[in-house]
């Protein structure tokens, strides 16, 4: 994995990147492949996805702060599920961005993901952000109040329209310039497949999508700088072996600096520095505060398109959807990444190009809603993933639709 979960290509690890088990046909015949010619499994949980794809294990856990379970799953041709924020305990996870960090599940098919989820998605007093039993009950009541939900279990799986009644939204704003032709084709094919299964497929608009990436990278880094402050070598974490002269203050602070410089990789240091900066009194009103506002707008936008009310903002009884709005949708469908896995040595591996990989995954992270990447085919032998997202708490419906897709 990338150090502290920070990365999208598995390159920020002191052990070196995990390798994608898939290789294009043309490469198999070449005898001179170096590691840089191989493809990234994606990140940050690239090792988890590569291990599942290579058949080394049936399922693996990963942590998804901004896409780190979904992106490697897509690039390794397996399923990657980020549940609703709070469904699975984070006890034991090293924190990156606490308001975003979510334990996710990687497996070769949705059924295996469902099995692991059934065991893992339980309340835990050791993680105060893990959903309480009462919130879980409230969500269940809400999702079960849908007229067709009760039929999910007993649906005739071989029938011609097993997903009839489910409305799928295609968000216009995910049609970004960076989207490759194969990713676009797979998106269209996925929409047709869901329509053939009986879904109503409609276009929806989420206007603030383009602001999600800068907002994510501001908030995640701010939280990281705070979370990683404990690695000071005094109370916690690695300590530099250079002995300090306690009578010389400058020397002591040098020791502190050595500890933080030796103990963190360059990317982690960059994020800590920028995260500290965006929260400083001079900069917070330009970066941190606007990012929080963007996050709220993105959450509200998702709420405005889903038919199911958000259990967190729910009044009692739930406010019905205003009739002035078009009927709501149940799941959103869009690509997981703009294309297939790049090679580890690609020139496109600039820092900004790395961050752009997350453009499709961070909106669901900011909103805390469940999202899943399922494999949908290949381009030049390399897998592509499609993503489904659903309203906060609607994980079971999401998994149900994902199974068919």
* Residues sharing a CB contact under 8 Å with residue 67, sequence separation 6 or more, in sequence order: 8, 82, 336, 357, 358, 360, 361, 362, 365
User: Residue 207: helix, strand or coil by DSSP?
Assistant: helix
- Comparing C-alpha atoms, which of 101, 104, 106 is closest to residue 76? 106
| Minimum gap (Å) between residue 63 Cβ and ligand GLN | 6
Complex with ligand GLN: residue 62 or 162, whichever CB lies closer = 62
Across the strands, what pairs with 60?
Answer: 106
Positive or negative: CA dihedral 245, 249, 254, 255:
positive
Complex with ligand GLN: residue 20 or 143, whichever CB lies closer = 20
Question: How many degrees, rounded to 5, is the angle at CA 331 between CA 330 and CA 332?
Answer: 135
Cβ-proximal residue to ligand GLN, closest one: 68
| Minimum gap (Å) between residue 95 Cβ and ligand GLN | 11
Complex with ligand GLN: residue 5 or 385, whichever CB lies closer = 5
| Minimum gap (Å) between residue 77 Cβ and ligand GLN | 19
Tokens of 299: 């959450």
Complex with ligand GLN: residue 65 or 211, whichever CB lies closer = 65
Tokens of 3: 């150090």
| Minimum gap (Å) between residue 62 Cβ and ligand GLN | 8
| Minimum gap (Å) between residue 89 Cβ and ligand GLN | 17
In angstroms, rounded to a whole number, what is the distance separating the alpha carbons of residues 271 and 91? Answer: 24
In angstroms, rounded to a whole number, what is the distance separating the alpha carbons of residues 39 and 183? Answer: 17
Interface positions with ligand GLN (CB under 6 A): 5-8, 44, 63-68, 96, 220, 358
In angstroms, rounded to a whole number, what is the distance separating the alpha carbons of residues 319 and 259? Answer: 53
Q: Judge contact between 173 and 203, C-beta under 8 A.
A: no
- Cβ neighbourhood burial of 289 (10 Å; 0-12, 13-18, 19+): middle
- Please report how the helices 266-278 and 212-227 are oriented relative to each other, as an axis angle in degrees rounded to 10: 100
| Minimum gap (Å) between residue 254 Cβ and ligand GLN | 30
| Minimum gap (Å) between residue 5 Cβ and ligand GLN | 3
| Minimum gap (Å) between residue 212 Cβ and ligand GLN | 12
| Minimum gap (Å) between residue 358 Cβ and ligand GLN | 5
Complex with ligand GLN: residue 359 or 374, whichever CB lies closer = 359
- Comparing C-alpha atoms, which of 231, 159, 154 is closest to residue 197? 159
Long-range CB pairs of 364-367, under 8 A, 24+ apart, other chains included: 364/82, 364/389, 365/64, 365/65, 365/66, 365/67, 365/82, 365/100, 365/102, 365/216, 366/100, 366/212, 366/215, 366/216, 366/219, 366/294, 366/295, 366/298, 366/299, 367/295, 367/298, 367/299, 367/302, 367/392
| Minimum gap (Å) between residue 200 Cβ and ligand GLN | 32
Complex with ligand GLN: residue 61 or 161, whichever CB lies closer = 61
Complex with ligand GLN: residue 5 or 309, whichever CB lies closer = 5
| Minimum gap (Å) between residue 133 Cβ and ligand GLN | 28
Complex with ligand GLN: residue 8 or 89, whichever CB lies closer = 8
Q: Which residue has the tokens 């402050």?
A: 229
Complex with ligand GLN: residue 258 or 276, whichever CB lies closer = 276
In angstroms, rounded to a whole number, what is the distance separating the alpha carbons of residues 20 and 10? Answer: 10
Complex with ligand GLN: residue 7 or 182, whichever CB lies closer = 7
- Comparing C-alpha atoms, which of 35, 25, 41, 28 is closest to residue 78? 41
Complex with ligand GLN: residue 61 or 195, whichever CB lies closer = 61
């Amino acid at each position: 994995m990338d150090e502290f979960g920070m990365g999208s290509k598995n390159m920020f690890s002191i052990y070196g990147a995990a390798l994608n088990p898939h290789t294009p046909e043309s490469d198999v015949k070449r005898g001179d492949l170096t590691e840089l010619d191989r493809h990234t499994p994606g990140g940050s949980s690239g090792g988890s996805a590569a291990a599942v794809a290579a058949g080394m294990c049936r399922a693996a856990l990963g942590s998804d702060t901004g896409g780190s379970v979904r992106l490697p799953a897509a690039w390794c041709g397996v399923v990657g599920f980020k549940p609703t924020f709070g469904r699975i305990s984070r006890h034991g996870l090293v924190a990156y961005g606490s308001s975003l960090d979510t334990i996710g599940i990687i497996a070769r098919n949705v059924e295996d993901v469902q099995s692991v989820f059934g065991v893992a998605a339980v309340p835990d007093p050791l993680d105060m952000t893990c959903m309480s039993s009462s919130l879980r009950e409230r969500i269940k009541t809400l999702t079960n109040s849908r007229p067709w939900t009760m039929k999910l279990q007993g649906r005739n799986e071989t029938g011609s329209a097993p997903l009839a009644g489910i409305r799928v939204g295609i968000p216009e704003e995910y049609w970004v310039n960076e989207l490759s032709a194969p990713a676009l084709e797979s998106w269209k094919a996925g929409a047709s497949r869901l329509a053939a299964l009986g879904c109503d497929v409609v276009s929806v608009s989420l206007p603030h999508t383009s602001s999600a990436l800068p907002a994510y990278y501001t908030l995640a880094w701010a939280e990281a700088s705070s979370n990683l402050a404990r690695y000071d070598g005094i109370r916690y974490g690695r300590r530099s072996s250079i002995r300090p002269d306690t009578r010389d203050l400058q020397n002591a602070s040098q020791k502190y600096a050595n500890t933080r410089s030796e103990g963190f990789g360059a990317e982690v240091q960059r994020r800590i520095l920028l995260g500290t900066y965006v929260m400083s009194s001079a900069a917070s009103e330009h970066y941190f505060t606007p990012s929080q506002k963007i996050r709220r707008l993105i959450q509200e936008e998702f709420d405005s398109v889903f038919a199911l009310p958000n259990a967190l903002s729910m009044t009692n009884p739930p406010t019905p959807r205003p009739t002035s709005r078009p009927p709501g949708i149940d799941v959103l469908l869009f690509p997981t990444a703009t294309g297939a896995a790049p090679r580890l040595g690609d020139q496109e591996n600039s820092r900004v190009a790395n961050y752009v990989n997350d453009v499709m995954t961070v909106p669901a992270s900011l909103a805390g809603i469940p999202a899943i990447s399922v494999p949908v085919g290949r381009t030049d032998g390399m897998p592509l993933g499609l993503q489904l997202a659903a309203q906060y708490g609607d994980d079971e419906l999401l998994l149900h639709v994902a199974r068919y897709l």
